[in-house]
Amino acid sequence: MAILLDGRALARTIAQGLAPRVAALPRAPGLAVVLVGSDPASVVYVRLKARAAEGLGLHHRQVDLPERASEAEVLATVDALNADPSVDGILVQLPLPTQVRREAVLDRVDPSKDVDGFHPENTGRLTQGRPRFVPCTPRGILALLDHHDVPLSGRRAVVVGRSPIVGRPVAALLDQRNATVTVCHTRTADLEAEVRRAEILVVAVGRPDAVPGAWVPPGAAVVDAGTNRLPDGRLVGDIAPHPALEAVGWITPTPGGVGPMTIAMLMANTVESAELRLAAR
Ligand code: NAP
């Protein structure tokens, strides 16, 4: 029977560990979330982040901009948050409307407030193995694996998906922990063969049946980062259900696996940012 990589439970433990650190600071850590437009999934994510921040006693601020906001308006908002000393973390909710270039906005966030870890300076630091802010979903995935003592060193890790948000940073983190990492994507010649040899499998594609469960080898540690809303309203991952999944060693549930860990790590990054900023005063 597979061990459940329970993200909800670990997220609660992480929040309990952060609470005394928040209480020890001379002021509440400040998290600012910029939401452009009203993409329904983004609205839900932003609400979950606000709830977590408030539950932890952070100072949470949300800036709502209209769907038609210009890139200049979004950049001006980021500039104002960069300059605001009460803000320790800035998160620009993705995706952005098409008239706003994602890179232009993410590059504008002060790297010392970039709690999402998407600024090129933070990406570069992560790649060099001396991270400042590790992107929240990859950091959460590693925390889940570590909490359950999943062996990483020397293991064959297969990461399906190579986005800068999940796949690439997860691959870098697993590599730094001495796993032997294969990154798969749309041009991978034989995805089934790659998945079948995984001892650690991380899937972040964004399609409900991207990886058939029948491919997943027994004993593997399986992390499904996919978040797909089906027409009937159910939330499912990227790995299609199959009895073979009962024989894996560890597996994330969906929902309740990677999602809560992403939010917990956003809180951790924001508290760490506040600690660093307040210590530097
Ligand atoms: P993304 O930017 O769209 O990247 C998807 C990646 O999957 C790309 O690298 C793409 O390859 C690859 N891919 C697509 N179809 C494939 C296929 N048939 N075979 C192999 N690889 C394929 O997505 P993302 O932002 O990384 O998100 C991925 C999933 O994770 C989504 O479901 C998203 O909602 C979820 N997610 C969850 C959380 C959370 O907190 N739970 C956070 C972030 C993301 P190419 O590079 O070749 O195009």
Q: Residue 75 falls within a domain, yes or no? A: yes
Shared domain check, 100 and 189:
no
The CA 272 to ligand 1 mean position distance, Å, reads 28
Look at residue 1 and tell me whether its pLDDT is greater than 90. Answer: no
> Which CATH number do you get for residue 98?
3.40.50.10860
Mean pLDDT along residues 141-160: 98
Shared domain check, 254 and 143:
yes
Q: Residue 227 falls within a domain, yes or no? A: yes
Residue having the nearest C-alpha atom to atom 1 of ligand 1: 163
pLDDT tens profile 36-94: 999 999 999 999 999 999 999 999 999 999 999 999 999 999 999 999 999 999 999 99
Ligand 1 site, residue 223, Cβ cutoff 6 A? no
Residue 131: per-residue pLDDT: 96
The CA 259 to ligand 1 mean position distance, Å, reads 14
The tokens 């997943």 sit on which residue? 216
Range of the domain at 105: 26-111
Shared domain check, 252 and 154:
yes
- Which residue among 5, 144, 205 has the greatest number of ligand 1 atoms within 8 angstroms of its CB, and so is best to mutate? 205
Shared domain check, 79 and 183:
no
Q: Residue 89 falls within a domain, yes or no? A: yes
Point out the residues that are catalytic.
49, 93, 116
- What are 106's two structure tokens? 């993410």
Shared domain check, 226 and 166:
yes
Ligand 1 site, residue 184, Cβ cutoff 6 A? yes
- Beta carbons of 206 and 226 less than 8 angstroms apart: yes
Q: Residue 14 falls within a domain, yes or no? A: no
d(CA 237, CA 190) in angstroms, rounded, equals 21
d(CA 128, CA 172) in angstroms, rounded, equals 9
Residue 210 Cα: closest atom of ligand 1: 18
pLDDT tens profile 173-215: 999 999 999 999 999 999 999 999 999 999 999 999 999 999 9
Q: Residue 231 falls within a domain, yes or no? A: yes
Shared domain check, 169 and 92:
no
Residue having the nearest C-alpha atom to atom 12 of ligand 1: 161
pLDDT tens profile 93-108: 999 999 999 999 999 9
pLDDT tens profile 126-143: 999 999 999 999 999 999
Shared domain check, 143 and 93:
no
Residue 193: per-residue pLDDT: 98
Ligand 1 site, residue 204, Cβ cutoff 6 A? yes
Ligand 1 site, residue 156, Cβ cutoff 6 A? no
Four-residue CA torsion sign, 146, 24, 47, 42: negative
> Which CATH number do you get for residue 224?
3.40.50.720
Q: How many domains does the chain have?
A: 2
Q: Which of 111, 126, 151 marks a domain boundary?
A: 111
The CA 60 to ligand 1 mean position distance, Å, reads 28
Shared domain check, 159 and 47:
no
- Angle at which helix 167-176 crosses helix 120-127, to 10 degrees, equals 30
Could you tell me the pTM of the whole model? 0.98
CB atoms within 10 A of CB 130: 8
Residue 281: per-residue pLDDT: 78
Q: Residue 36 falls within a domain, yes or no? A: yes
| Proportion of the chain above pLDDT 70, given as a percent | 100
The CA 199 to ligand 1 mean position distance, Å, reads 20
Q: Residue 160 falls within a domain, yes or no? A: yes
pLDDT tens profile 259-269: 999 999 999 99
Ligand 1 site, residue 186, Cβ cutoff 6 A? yes
Q: Residue 270 falls within a domain, yes or no? A: no
